[in-house]
Structure 1
Amino acid sequence: MEVYHTIAEIRNFVREQKITGNSVGFVPTMGYLHQGHLTLMEEARKENDIVVVSIFVNPTQFGPDEDYGEYPRDLSRDVELATGVGVDVVFSPQTEEIYLPNSATTVEVEGLTNHLCGATREGHFTGVCTIVSKLFNIINPDRAYFGQKDAQQVLVIKRMVKDLNFDIDIVTVPIVREKDGLAISSRNKYLGQDEREAALVLYQALQIAQNLIGSGERDRDIIKQQLVERIDREPLAEIDYVDIVNQNNLEEAEEIKGEILIALAVYIGKTRLIDNLMLEVDK
C-alpha cells in the first residue's frame, strides 16, 4: 500500500501502470471509511488490476451551515481498512493541492441538480461535479465506483461523464445496510443511541412504500402521504424532502409505473440522512 499526497505522485503512479497495460479502478471518498466504501473497493478489486482510493473532504460541496469542520477524519484508520480489502494506493491531498488560489472554474450539471438534494443544498452538486471531474482528470481511471445510496449523485456523475466525454465507466454498487436496515453512512457516527434508533424510520418508511406498491397501490399522493405520516410519528425526525421521481430524469413521477426512485432526506436531531428505494413497477 502506498499513500500519495500530491498530484504529481499519483499521476506518475497511474501513468506507469497504464504503460504496462494495467487497468485502474477508482473509488472517490471523503474518508472515515465504512462497509459501504469497502464494498465499492471490493468490487473495484474484482474488476481491475490496480485500485486507487481518494480520501479528501471536499470543502466546496458543503454549505455554510453544514458539517465540513466536524466531518470525521482518520487517515491512518482509513489506510488500514483500505489495505485490508486490497487497495493499492490511497491519494490523500491537502486542500491547497486540489484547489489553486483564486480558482475560477467549476463544473455544473443543469436540470438533474434542481431536484431532491439539489433543491435543498444550494451549490452542493457544483462542488461534487467539480471535485469528481478534477479527480478523474488527475487519476484517469478506467472505471469509477459509486454507491447507490447517493442515487442522485450517481445520475449526475453519469451525465457529467457523458457530456464531457470522459472515457470512464461508472459502476454503481447497491446500498449497503446494517442488519436492522439502516443505510450505512459516515454521518451515522453523529447519532446518539436514541437517534440511532430513530434513524430506522427512513428504512421503515421505504418499506411501507414498497409494500403499498407491491399490493397494487399506484396513487403517488397516497404513497407519499403514508411515508410522511410514518416519519412524522418519530419525534426526533424532521423531513427535508420525501419524493417519488422518475429514475432517469428525477422529474416528479405523475404515475407509479416504470423505473421509479423513492428518495428521502431526513434530519435525525442535527444529522441529515438520506436513503432511497429503486423499483421497476408494472402498471
Structure 2
Amino acid sequence: MTQDLPQPGAVKAYPEPDAADVSELLLGWCGADAEDADDAVKALGALDDDARELADRLYQSIAADMGGKKWLSWPKVTEPHSLLGLYPLLAAVPDMLAYHRERGIDEDLSRKVLVDVGEKLRLNRRIYGRAGLDVANWFTGHVRGALYQLGRLQFCVEGPDPEPFVGMHIRGEGGPLTLDAVRDSTEWALEFFPAVFPERYDGPEELVFKCDSWLLDPQLRDWLPERSNIPGFGALFDLEGDGGPVGNRTDLWRFVFMRTEDTPVEELPQDNTLQRSVLAGIKADVPWRSRLGTLNLNRLGL
C-alpha cells in the first residue's frame, strides 16, 4: 500500500510540525492529555529519515485529496513509530482550516472535530499501555473536510457519486446517546450538509444517513437493561443484510472492553453495565455483529 502514496513533496511542501506545533495543537485543539502530548513531542524527535519520508508521503496523500469523501487508506504504522501517522495529520490542520473557511464553516466546528484526536490517543493508551494512534487514517476524513462533529454525533460525506450519503459515527466520549441528542444532531446535519455541500446534496429531503456499527446489533436489546440508550439508538435504523457470519470481535474488544483483540475472554473487564452485558452474551455464544442501517427519520419525528 505504501507504493500507492504520492512521493515526497509531490503535491506541496510538507510543513513538518516542530515540537512546539505538536504540543500546541494537541493540547489547545485536540484535547489531548499532557502525557500523550509529551510523548508525541518525544517521538517526533526520534523519527529517522525513512519515517520522516513516510510522514511526508502521508501528508501528500491528504493534500492531493482535500474535499474528498470518507477517509484514506494508509499503510499500518507500528513500532518503533506508533505515532508516525499523527504528524502529517497535524501538519494538515492549516489545510483543513483553509478548506473550512472556503465553505463558510466556523472555527468552533474546526476545533470540535479535532477533539476526536485526543480521545483516540487516550483510547490507544488504555488498550496498549503506551502512546499511539493505531487508526491514524480515520482522521484523514477530519482534516480533508469530509467529517464534522455536529452535537453528539459525527457526520461524514460518504458513498458513491452522484448521490453520496452521509455516514453517522459515534464518539465514545461524546456523552449520553439519548434520543434528544440524536434528534438535535440530525436536525443540524439536515441543515449543514446541503448548505456546505450544495454540489453534493440538493436539500434536506434528499439526505440519506447510514451507520455501520456494533451499536446497531438488535441482539443488544436482549442483554442490555431497559434504561440503556443503545437499543433505542439502534431501533432508529432500517437494517440492511445480516452483518456477516463472523461476529464483531474487533470492535467489541476495542470499544466496549478497551482491550486488544487477542485478550482472552476470561481477562475482559466487567467495570460497567455495558461490559457485563456484552460479556454475558459472549459467554452465551451470542454471535455479536456489526450492522449497517439507514436512519429512519420518521422514528425521530423529523
* TM exceeding 0.5: no
Greater percentage in strand: 1
Greater percentage in helix: 2
What TM-score comes out, normalization by structure 1 length? 0.28
What TM-score comes out, normalization by structure 2 length? 0.27
